A and B are shown apart, each in its own frame.
Chain A
Amino acid sequence: MPPLEHILVVNAVLFAIGVMGVLTRRNAVLILLSVELMLNAVSLNMVAFAVYGHVDFGNITGIVFAFFIIVIAAAEVALALGIVVRTFRNRATANVDEVNLLKW
């Protein structure tokens, strides 16, 4: 098995890449993809802790959490894409910096 630190470092890099995508992209769908990368990094972290702690602590809450995160992420993607499609119909753009109706 890879040591826990290696998994944590890989997940930290994946999370930072997701943050970079959220902060640099303009297209709403691509921002959503970057958020998914961050969610993946977090659930991978939870699974790693649960699997390595299973021997010592005997509970697998982290794995159940990863399962719930994946299900919630599916709901979130469906809702967000519905909003993006609706925004595109109203404003003819999917770029988040052009959707400035609430800005004065």
Chain B
Amino acid sequence: MDRAWIPEGVQRCSAGAFYSWMALWLFVLGAAVTTALLILWKGLNQTNMNDYFGFGAWITADLGVIALGAGAFFSGFLTYVVRIKELKALINFAVIIGFICYSSALLILILDIGQPLRCWFGYWFPNIHSMLTEVIFCITLYFTVLTIEYVPLILENRKIYANPVAHTLSHNFHEAMAIFAAIGTFLSFFHQGSLGGMYGVMYARPFAFREGFFVWPWTFFLFIFSAISTGPTFTILITMILQKVTKKRLVPRESLSVLAKIAGCLLCGYVIVKIADTYYWATHILPARGLTFAQQYHGYQYGMWLPYVEIGLCGVIPAIILITRRLRENDKWLVLACALASFGVVLNRFIFTVQTLAMPVLPFDKWYIYFPSWQEWVTSMAVIAYGAVIISLSYRYLPVFPYERDLNPPAR
């Protein structure tokens, strides 16, 4: 039925199977849109946030997907600026993942602010001292860059490409892609950093506060480092999942191995820096404010297990797997390492977002527990359905993987 829209020389499932698959995800997405409308209508009282937890599941989800979406800019940087040719097989898909991550983050942010109709105030009345201003500017600009990177791929759809205007436009976009990759890298570095800076500058919140270099607290650099080391692992993870679902090899194994090796080296560096940061925070920053490391953790939800899981299980272990050639060449180990690293960066963002606010600063105050409402869960989890819809459409109708035909020759 839609054969003419599918790229030439590749095999796709039947239209019926595809539409059934899409119907499932669109149903989930529909439920999330309905919930979002409920929130916009009734207000943020539909969440379990309160005056202690001004940030919650949505900011965690935002920061998590933005970190995971860093695979797009970093792969773009490695492909177009450093010119690692193996990554050309992956770059289109990395851009799509980045586009999904950033667009969903912006959609969640619209829900998260109390006055969505004033969202443009961030550009109109910018406070140049606020890290959030930098985040607002860089994220929207980088989302524009991602859209510019995604558009040529859409124009390469078989039917659209037949149009001479689309053909010329697509060609010219490709010519300029290295420039956009460089701009994207610059913008992404800054906003990944600004997101970390948002917490590090809160000097009256000892759990998050960090000293730093010039106007940038150490969290600024830690967030960049964690994003560029775990973003590529998420790109690898989603590629492996897609290969599993489609039962095809879509990118050469070597491409995944090269990216995994780079991510592994970066993750090693990040883990070392993160441990050093935690040590300095525990031995200098906290005592200067009359606090101890142990006081920063409490009970089960905010317990001492968090740093062990975040840095140990989801940092040290995947780093070792990824830098060990024998392990990263094994698909199962690679998936495990990428899943752990991806989960670790989301956990890191959760800790900085929620635990920062949970830890009582006033000596006579107590810990409070935050658990998201069903409305927060549904809208946050909708990112998965949204991603599935975009990836499914892109995979079926666009030439996302340039080596797919070579890797899957038609059966004789």
Binding partners A and B: no
User: Which B residues have a C-beta under 8 Å from some C-beta of A?
Assistant: none
User: Which A residues have a C-beta under 8 Å from some C-beta of B?
Assistant: none
